[in-house]
Amino acid sequence: MATRKGTTVYLPEDQARYIQENYKNQNYGIIAAIEALMTIRKYSTNELKGIFTPAEWSFLAESLNGTITDGSFRCNAGALAYHCLDAYKLDGLDGLGEKWEIDIQELMDKIKDLTAAQVEALYFRVEQFWEDEERDLEEFAKY
């Protein structure tokens, strides 16, 4: 049996309304929503294996470093693809595409084929990489 921990959660109004409208009670709804997200991320992250080359993963990690993405953009493949194009072209990241020797059009095409859940999982994977104090870009890129 899983241990349980009591905590107080303060939800924004729209999230509280979603929980109320879709679940029996608030506690059950929060647990169910977190379980669903964990499952979707697990499967979607696993589906990303083998799609991108190590160079493309390295480019994604560097270009997304410090980027805050939320709301509908977090699941938008087109927005991520155009972020990559901008990162490839912009002066501040000049040479990033050349550094990793990627074909930007090929990378954009791969991203545009991702599902919304896979895009979210990609962002989460990159965020987890940057949160890890013992990160190793070479290991991260072998996915």
Tens digit of each residue's pLDDT, the chain (143 residues):
567 788 888 999 999 999 999 998 999 999 999 999 999 999 999 999 999 999 999 999 999 999 999 889 999 999 999 999 998 987 555 568 788 989 999 999 999 999 999 999 999 999 999 999 999 999 999 99
Which residues have a Cβ under 8 Å from the Cβ of 33 and sit 6 or more positions away? 19, 23
> Looking at residue 94, what is its pLDDT?
58
Length of the chain: 143
